[in-house]
Amino acid sequence: MTDTSPRALSGITVLEVRSIGPGPLAGMLLADMGADVIRIDRPGVPTRGASDHIAPTHRGKRSVSIDLKTDDGRELLLEMVEHADVLIEGNRPGVMERIGLGPVDCHRRNPRLVYGRMTGWGQDGPLASAAGHDINYIALSGALEGMGADPSGPPVPAVSYVGDFAGGTMFLLFGILCAVRVAERTGVGQVVDAAMVDGVAALSAPYHGLLADGKWKLGRGRNVIDGGAPYYHVYECRDGQFVTIASAEPQFYALLRSCLGLTEPLWDAQHDEEQWAVQEQRLADIFRTRTRDEWCSILEGTDVCFAPVLSLADAPRHPHNVARETFVSVGDVIQPAPAPRLSRTPGAIGGPPPVAGLHTREVLGELGIGTDRVNNLISTGAVAIAEHPTAGQ
């Protein structure tokens, strides 16, 4: 899956100031589509999360290790800004300004630069400077309150998919690509203020419409698609594994009844909420009579709207994912393939993830910085060189 042929974003240079969560995933997706993503690492700072040479979110990138606390390091990054199209940073508001690398500083050197800022709360507002994590941002946006099928229990966190990556990464990317298009037309860059609270709030637009129309109940497990309806639910199987059904439409519900032998009058009123608790218990009893694989042999591929609940380890082995090559192996690490799929300029993985500083000499050489200056920057600690290559190189 590694490739260097022209892709949709070939020719775009992105500087990704090292961060955690949504920023690295944004860089990965841009790199998959052909952007030259240069990760700016800080010398001597331990890796958070998966190791550099393992983490799929760093695949296809190059790494330059710069100490931005030094004058030489900051000047070097500004020189890189002069040749870049996009800069991504994920610090608290004001941090980049305090070290002389904020949007104003960078736009003085490159007016076309798109300056992408990824935070939880946003660049302003009463909470802007407060610490936080994914669960806090989705709580404030109104999304967390409705997560979980048990109305008597607390909301259930959705790992980091909703806040960090849906509300964060995807809206950061959307803003960056919008701003890049404007810069290409006008020659003028701008700041992208991507806040997870804002992004998750935007994702909730359909539910605000349903709520205003009286078609959405607040709370947990009180609506069709939040686990309240027995025909749109997760059930445990005999082997302790789980399956999902989503037989919401009448024709799909009728097929579910046929496949499971649900002939009693109890099942005639699909949307009678007073019967939902009884129906859910009956379905729970039925699904516990077979293993997950047995249910797959009966229901998978039908219009019941069915799928097994797979782990991260199991998903790459499912026949559908195998057929579509949804997962690939890079450096012996199983990971998602580039998405979405473009028919003319498909994405590809440009190489395995680098350790910090692997490409310092290479990138500085491309900027026209001579060997003597590079060696001087190394000797003063302004930059660092990787001590060992990436896995697979």
Nearest to 112 by CA among 6, 23, 12, 9: 12
* Contact (Cβ atoms closer than 8 angstroms) between residue 334 and residue 316: yes
Decide if 164 is catalytic.
yes
**Crossing angle between the packed helical segments 196-203 and 134-141, to the nearest 10 degrees:** 50
| Active-site residue, from 83, 105, 107, 133 | 133
* Contact (Cβ atoms closer than 8 angstroms) between residue 33 and residue 350: no
Q: Which two tokens stand for residue 191?
A: 């700041």
Nearest to 15 by CA among 98, 99, 114: 114
Nearest to 42 by CA among 24, 8, 66, 72: 66
d(CA 268, CA 280): 14
Segment (H or E) for 203: helix 196-203
Q: Which two tokens stand for residue 203?
A: 């994702």
Which whole-number Å values give the CA distances from 341 to 7, 129, 346, 368, in the listed order?
12, 38, 6, 36
Nearest to 56 by CA among 334, 315, 321: 334
Residues 6+ apart with CB under 8 A from 10: 34, 35
* Contact (Cβ atoms closer than 8 angstroms) between residue 223 and residue 233: no
Give the bridge partners for 327, in sequence order: 336
* Contact (Cβ atoms closer than 8 angstroms) between residue 151 and residue 220: yes
DSSP E strand boundaries for the chain:
13-17, 36-41, 62-66, 86-89, 114-119, 191-195, 232-236, 242-246, 306-308, 327-330, 333-336, 383-384
| Active-site residue, from 85, 134, 164, 198 | 164
**Crossing angle between the packed helical segments 71-81 and 371-380, to the nearest 10 degrees:** 140
d(CA 133, CA 30): 24
Provide the annotated active-site residues. Answer: 133, 164
